[in-house]
């Protein structure tokens, strides 16, 4: 499936809303803010995780202490790392857990 730029922006906005909703469920001091396709997650140790869209490449990007990750959308499998195929949610949960020093598992609908 080749998606349009509008579809891509809608997909990214949808996943950002899902992440925000999941973060609201946590009670551990993690905060966030979003603006124009960029979600910044503020960890309790003052580090950040940033999720944003890269419209030109139709990719979802995640930046964390452990590095930068790029995800392509696969209709059957969702957002997948363009290097190793790892699912976006698995990468996000791993980065959140590493930076929080506790297991965090967001479930995105």
The sign of the torsion formed by the CA atoms of 47, 38, 103, 87 equals negative
Condensed to tens digits (0 to 9), the pLDDT of residues 21-66 reads 999 998 888 999 999 889 999 999 999 999 999 999 999 999 999 9
Domain layout of the chain by residue ranges: 5-100
Residue 1 has pLDDT above 80, yes or no: no
Element of type H or E holding 14: helix 5-25
Topology of the domain comprising 5-100: Metal Transport, Frataxin; Chain A (3.30.920)
CA dist 91 and 107 (Å) reads 12
């Amino acid at each position: 499936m080749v998606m349009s730029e509008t579809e891509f922006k809608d997909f990214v906005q949808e996943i950002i809303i899902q992440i925000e909703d999941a973060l609201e469920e946590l009670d551990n001091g993690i905060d966030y803010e979003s603006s124009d396709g960029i979600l910044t997650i503020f960890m309790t140790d003052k580090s950040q995780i940033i999720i944003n869209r890269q419209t030109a490449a139709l990719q979802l990007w995640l930046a964390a202490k452990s590095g930068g990750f790029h995800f392509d959308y696969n209709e059957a499998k969702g957002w997948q790392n363009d290097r190793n195929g790892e699912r976006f949610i698995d990468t996000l949960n791993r980065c959140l857990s590493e930076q929080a020093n506790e297991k965090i598992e967001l479930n995105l609908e």
